[in-house]
Chain A
Amino acid sequence: MIKSELIQKIAATNPHLYHRDVERIVNTIFDEIVDALARGDRVELRGFGAFTVKHRASRQGRNPRTGTPVAVSEKFVPFFKTGKELRDRLNDHA
């Protein structure tokens, strides 16, 4: 399922909303999550999962092909931990 299909499904169950409003609704939710993470906040959606950001320090890496050392600068990586309810739902004992 891609975003446009998700929007389509939400629009189908909410006939009183304009399609472009449903588009805004879906985009607003995911933008809000990214904005929160970019501020250093975490997002916890009980039963679904939690989005957090992990810090990776700068390190000396290596080009695996040539073996030359390269500097890898510090970075932040987003991380998602599945919620208990969703995890159970994936394995049919919800």
Chain B
Amino acid sequence: MSGKTLTRADLAEALVRKVGLPRNESQELVELILNEISGSLANGVTVKLSSFGSFGIRQKGERVGRNPKTGKEVPITPRRVLVFRASNIMKDRINAGLLRRKAAE
């Protein structure tokens, strides 16, 4: 694996390059899109992006956890967690890319 990390700046750069938008507007749009998704999830609304995947919310009940350092039992409060399910298209594209890469090594 090449092990690079992409950030918001790289996504904005892609908009500059592929859509031809100004850099500052690209940055704003990346932020706006992530915010729109976060807002929907915060309202408990699932976000389904065809050919990418879906972000959903799962409600977790209270359970007993343990402080790994001290071994003390502590209650873990009920909470909402995000689950991401990749689409088959995304899985296929990743496997096609990485298996080919691996075979070439």
A61 close to B (CB within 8 Å): no
Within the complex, the shortest CB–CB distance from A66 to chain B, in Å, comes to: 25
Residues of B within 8 A of A2 (CB): 47-50
A72 to B29, CA, bound (A): 41
User: Of the candidates B8, B34, B47, B91, which one forms a contact with A1 in the assembled complex, judged by CB atoms under 8 Å apart?
Assistant: B47
Most B CB contacts (10 A, CB to CB) among A1, A39, A45, A80 go to A1
Q: For the side of the interface on A, what is the size category?
A: 35 or more
* Beta-carbon contact of B94 and A91 below 8 Å: no
Residues of A within 8 A of B41 (CB): 86, 89-90
Within the complex, the shortest CB–CB distance from B88 to chain A, in Å, comes to: 11
A41 to B90, CA, bound (A): 14
Within the complex, the shortest CB–CB distance from B15 to chain A, in Å, comes to: 6
A87 to B49, CA, bound (A): 20
* Beta-carbon contact of B36 and A10 below 8 Å: yes
* Beta-carbon contact of B98 and A43 below 8 Å: no
Please judge, given known A-B contacts A40-B2, A44-B6, A90-B42, whether A53 and B94 are in contact too, CB under 8 Å: yes
B64 close to A (CB within 8 Å): no
User: Of the candidates A25, A42, A91, which one forms a contact with B19 in the assembled complex, judged by CB atoms under 8 Å apart?
Assistant: A25
Within the complex, the shortest CB–CB distance from B91 to chain A, in Å, comes to: 6
Residues of A within 8 A of B80 (CB): 90-91
* Beta-carbon contact of B7 and A46 below 8 Å: yes
Within the complex, the shortest CB–CB distance from B47 to chain A, in Å, comes to: 5
A39 to B94, CA, bound (A): 8
List, sorted by A's number, 20 A–B pairs whose CB atoms are closer than 8 Å. Answer: A3-B48, A3-B49, A21-B19, A24-B19, A25-B33, A28-B14, A30-B51, A32-B6, A32-B11, A32-B14, A33-B6, A34-B94, A42-B3, A53-B94, A75-B95, A78-B86, A79-B84, A80-B84, A82-B82, A90-B57
